[in-house]
Structure 1
């Protein structure tokens, strides 16, 4: 007999709350007591001790990952090594820079960036990079950031030729690393290592993205110093750090939430790292002296030492400007025992599921358009289910039931949500045919049959043949109309004349268009009129993402949606790609 679904906003909230509120039942704690006993019986003293400590907390641990882990598994240089490498590229003595900056690496990086700027724009070695990235180099720091990002990207893949694959004991560590059970990752690294270890964790890059995101703080990665995918996000120079520190009160508040609720393990850092000490200072100031020792009980500094015979845990006191903070120090000569212990943690449900439920509740609560509904319990096949905002079910089910529920959810998608997916800002995981048949008629209707990107879904559904003909069999008539509208996109003749007269020969990239002093509406028209052979499609996507994330008014304009449809067609429409 099938059980009924509990279907409504409030029921989802209460079901989620039922699992995670520690004052009701701490499943994480109880299950790990059992694991701890197993470890004790096996005689593994370190595993027993670390599990006993973690079982005393009510939440999964977070990892705070530094450059030592990237050196260990990817053979990437540390920060001084990276700057030394690019000092050589710029033809300047690193020792001279180091002494000129009085040992301050951010100041050194700022001086190096200014010197490297001249080299990058003149040296034939960087000719190809100038062609690809000149639109991104908008100040004297960006050339160095672009090349650092390129260098790290080339060495970021965890494959043959890297220590994490070629060396047996490190390969074993990586396998254990991938199986750890954690709440999330914070890192100051630019590289892609963590994304390969935890590919299912969405990544938030930099403080600004974290500030503007709907991060749920579970099963996520926070790259607080930037990422190679966006060279402009790298926190590298003294100027970058000054900006970083102006915003770090928000970051400290976010981190304090994590530190207050989760154990945190620092991996790949020196305990003297100024970035870590600064973060600890801010957090300690926020909690006050009376709770510092309680906070310290949650923090673990993991120190690799090849001379250690077996892993151990001990109390370690860190001196800060405003006092002392006691941490737990884990000393080991291999990370495998630690990762094995973390892999034996068992939450009440997978972290990704908790994140999904948290996000659903968050979206419901913050959505100003939601009409409040009472608690309703309905069978899974009830006709009334289609009018409910959220459906949450427990009990036996058939796959046909899930398909029906998916259709209910898809009908709530709007044009902005489609744009987020097409631009890669917030991917949709739904079947493309179901999106076309169930979601798009409603999307088009709510958009008053304006511009809606559609070719991504037609391509994913394999409905565009090699000649560009679209198979619309079985799809609503609105789909064919949308295809025709997007393929016959219209720009006013006056805008075309102005573009050819004032823009075409001076601004050849989407980034250049956005930085110009042109009116916002004309910028969107220019993005459609630009010759696509003069830039990468990713550059157009990045420009549109910038508008989507930073300009609420412009991102709701017809011109913006038309430009997104232009990108969608350039990227996914066979007919356009052949023209």
Structure 2
């Protein structure tokens, strides 16, 4: 089955289960488990032989117990740093003693892991594929990951959940960091003792994740078929669900393992049997490929009746209701008698109930997030808004993403008209400036005219669009008219393309005039 047809059958928002392979694929500074321990050992001892001794101690027939290797390495690392206060790892000792001042006893070994992985660099050749991955986030319910780094939660802009916070979570829009995170080194799980403690406390977390896995499609990425994380998860599920039931069959059909195969463009999903000792054989779906772009494209194009983004909004309100907040709840009609497609949840004031996914103002405030996600579903709402001619609204990028807008032509005429009013017969008075920073720091340009200077610089191609984008992404007051003006000019210059015209007449500056 083609990956397109497999994903098209999803009836709920998928959950991603992310492993080390994803960080290795996209990040410059990432490690396998073996690679991480080997690197730390090398930095500590300035030789690879100490790590080889640890592997020999905890190896059997070519397999190694990395949890016990990590335990021995942690002991040696901590003891060495304790003896050498101001040596090579002085900055780690500094962090250790800063934490101890507030009775926060964190292993120096884990502080170093956190320091090592706290910042990441995306590989230059993978940036385009990461941009495609970002588009997937609008259709993803949650992410579960065993990775320590913060790559996936930062590009998805999901809430990070570590340790007991998993139990108090809103499942939609969350990243479950089940093995810990660089942002909280005390929760990092890496040694045999860590894993033993984790499994003792895991039952409630297991129940929380089990609910996700039973009701949502699960896509494993960054793992191979023999990974213990996958086997343990499958054992957990089918310990609670009878493998011979229709529910079990439904769950199996929802599992997809994406296994990396270098240079493969394969797009076909096949069956695969996983043999597990002491357990029955379990059949799941698998695709071996290097064509992640095709997977991301089809996940991004997945169209479900309710977006994951809006389920997050609803769950936040329901959470307030559960907690006994000052919210009145009124249920009308016989809800149980309604068909699924007839049910509506309305959230609003007591006097006037009106629910929209986003207002025109919110669309502009979230412009870059919508473009990053290529969120065509959300943009269908534009046809339902009454956007006035005198309103700044950036339609060019939105119309490229959502190609079925009835109001596209009218809104482009409106946007062009607003820009014409900004530039026609106006003086380009700050031609010496090629950056936004230089305009802002020029004391000869009045504060009231700095935005105009920026607009002229963008329209006349003096200020690079990459700089304008960075400026707009960091803009604080996104409700302001200045933000909307600059956004509309940026949108026009970047996305109008062949539709751009020379209708704007900009005058040369008068002598001595600003």
What TM-score results when the alignment is normalised by the length of structure 1? 0.53
Matches within 5 A, 1:212-227: 213=168, 215-227=169-181
Give the structure 2 partner of residue 144 of structure 1: 109
Q: Does 1:57 align with 2:10?
A: yes
Q: CA deviation at 1:395?
A: 7.2
**8 Å Cα contact 2:274/2:281 also seen in 1:** yes
Match of 2:135 among 150, 175, 179: 179
Structure-2 change in CA distance of 1:387 and 1:62 (3 Å): closer
**8 Å Cα contact 2:22/2:221 also seen in 1:** yes
Match of 1:74 among 6, 23, 27: 27
Q: CA deviation at 1:131?
A: 1.9
Q: Could you list the per-position Cα deviations for residues 502-544 of structure 1 after superposition, in whole angstroms to 9, with x for gaps in the alignment? A: xxxxxxxxxxxxxxxxxxxxxxxxxxxxxxxxxxxxxxxxxxx
SS at match of 1:289: coil
Q: CA deviation at 1:391?
A: 7.9
User: 2-side partners of 1:62 and 1:314: how far apart?
Assistant: 20
**8 Å Cα contact 1:252/1:279 also seen in 2:** no
Give the structure 2 partner of residue 100 of structure 1: 57
Match of 2:302 among 345, 355, 363: 345
Q: Does 1:394 align with 2:355?
A: yes
SS at match of 2:291: coil
Matches within 5 A, 1:138-287: 142-154=107-119, 156=120, 158=121, 162-163=122-123, 166-167=124-125, 170-180=126-136, 181-199=139-157, 201-206=158-163, 208-211=164-167, 213=168, 215-287=169-241
Q: Does 1:336 align with 2:293?
A: yes
SS at match of 2:95: helix
Q: Could you list the per-position Cα deviations for residues 477-526 of structure 1 after superposition, in whole angstroms to 9, with x for gaps in the alignment? A: xxxxxxxxxxxxxxxxxxxxxxxxxxxxxxxxxxxxxxxxxxxxxxxxxx
SS at match of 2:118: helix
Q: CA deviation at 1:107?
A: 1.1
**225-234 vs 123-132, greater mean Cα deviation:** 123-132
User: 1-side partners of 2:140 and 2:3: how far apart?
Assistant: 14
Q: CA deviation at 1:319?
A: 1.2
User: 2-side partners of 1:221 and 1:399: how far apart?
Assistant: 29
Q: Does 1:112 align with 2:73?
A: yes
Q: Does 1:121 align with 2:82?
A: yes
Q: CA deviation at 1:284?
A: 1.4
Q: CA deviation at 1:136?
A: 3.4
Give the structure 2 partner of residue 317 of structure 1: 273
Give the structure 1 partner of residue 42 of structure 2: 88
SS at match of 2:285: strand
Give the structure 1 partner of residue 434 of structure 2: none
**8 Å Cα contact 1:202/1:220 also seen in 2:** yes
User: 1-side partners of 2:327 and 2:235: how far apart?
Assistant: 44
**8 Å Cα contact 1:293/1:325 also seen in 2:** no
**8 Å Cα contact 2:6/2:269 also seen in 1:** no
Q: CA deviation at 1:396?
A: 12
SS at match of 2:149: coil
Q: CA deviation at 1:334?
A: 2.4
Structure 2: gaps (5+ residues): 333-346, 362-514
Q: Could you list the per-position Cα deviations for residues 209-241 of structure 1 after superposition, in whole angstroms to 9, with x for gaps in the alignment? A: 212x2x221122111111101100111111110
Structure-2 change in CA distance of 1:338 and 1:397 (3 Å): closer
Q: CA deviation at 1:58?
A: 2.0
SS at match of 1:77: coil
Q: Could you list the per-position Cα deviations for residues 232-262 of structure 1 after superposition, in whole angstroms to 9, with x for gaps in the alignment? A: 0111111110011112222221222111111
Q: CA deviation at 1:323?
A: 1.2
How many pairs does the alignment contain? 331
Q: Could you list the per-position Cα deviations for residues 140-189 of structure 1 after superposition, in whole angstroms to 9, with x for gaps in the alignment? A: 971110001100113x2x4xxx42xx11xx22211110101211211110
Give the structure 1 partner of residue 252 of structure 2: 296
SS at match of 2:189: coil
Q: Does 1:134 align with 2:80?
A: no
Q: Which has the higher contact order (CA 8 A, sep 6+)?
A: 1
SS at match of 2:225: coil
User: 1-side partners of 2:26 and 2:229: how far apart?
Assistant: 22
SS at match of 2:147: coil
**8 Å Cα contact 2:217/2:254 also seen in 1:** yes
Q: CA deviation at 1:372?
A: 6.0
Structure 1: gaps (5+ residues): 1-45, 377-384, 401-579
What TM-score results when the alignment is normalised by the length of structure 2? 0.59
Matches within 5 A, 1:444-523: none
**8 Å Cα contact 2:96/2:107 also seen in 1:** no
Higher helix residue share: 1
User: 1-side partners of 2:129 and 2:50: how far apart?
Assistant: 37
User: 2-side partners of 1:99 and 1:396: how far apart?
Assistant: 58
Structure-2 change in CA distance of 1:391 and 1:261 (3 Å): farther
**8 Å Cα contact 1:293/1:326 also seen in 2:** no
**8 Å Cα contact 1:218/1:351 also seen in 2:** yes
User: 2-side partners of 1:131 and 1:50: how far apart?
Assistant: 50
SS at match of 1:222: strand
Give the RMSD, CA atoms, in angstroms: 2.9
